[in-house]
Chain A
Amino acid sequence: QKEVEQNSGPLSVPEGAIASLNCTYSDRGSQSFFWYRQYSGKSPELIMSIYSNGDKEDGRFTAQLNKASQYVSLLIRDSQPSDSATYLCAVNLAGSSNTGKLIFGQGTTLQVKP
């Protein structure tokens, strides 16, 4: 079992729709969770961090964390073609909490069609 798992997609949504991206992790003691966006040929860009159960909203983005079920999700409201990218879920595992060691999922490719 991989430590962090994501559906590779592609996930295709029409412009204006809600895109829902999911991620599961295996280490129950993990405390810190991050979503990165990576455009083709570019480096990952941090878009959301979440540490507590529940929802965290930032503009059109909402991160959701459920530690009991060991999943974290990212919702993108009013999706735009410019949101088309690969979204990477990253986790600080319990043994490396509060350090710079992140374990990444394989990423989900999102396509927003005009």
Chain B
Amino acid sequence: KAGVTQTPRYLIKTRGQQVTLSCSPISGHRSVSWYQQTPGQGLQFLFEYFSETQRNKGNFPGRFSGRQFSNSRSEMNVSTLELGDSALYLCASSRGTGEAFFGQGTRLTVV
């Protein structure tokens, strides 16, 4: 059974640019959640999509947005990148009942 797939694995962007990250969940999983992980703040919840609707949202600015497609694949977009957005972005999929499985992550570096 294929796991959660995130692309790309690494990204380098310049301040002010925008970026789109992609996540393909485990087959049959309808929930996709996004997290930001930094050494200082740890793992922080960004948002969750379930059946193409945002079901939960964390405390991040509006520059962070996402969407989910009918096949449950999800994208996350960050606009007007700041140096502080440099982080590991993790996607997790679940059936929607808590147990979540993570992808390998996208390492974003903003210069």
Contact = CB atoms under 8 A, between A and B. Distances in A.
Interface of A: 32, 34, 36, 42-46, 49, 88, 92, 96-107
Interface in B8-60: 31-33, 35, 42-45, 48, 50, 55-56, 58
Nearest to B33: A100
B66 interface: no
Contacts, number: 70
A96 B32 CA distance: 14
A103 B45 contact: yes
Contacts of B97: 98-99
B3 to A, nearest CB: 10
Given A43-B90, A44-B90, A104-B43, A99 B99 contact: no
Contact of B100 (A96, A97, A100, A105): A100
Interface string B97-111: 111111111000000
Nearest to A49: B99
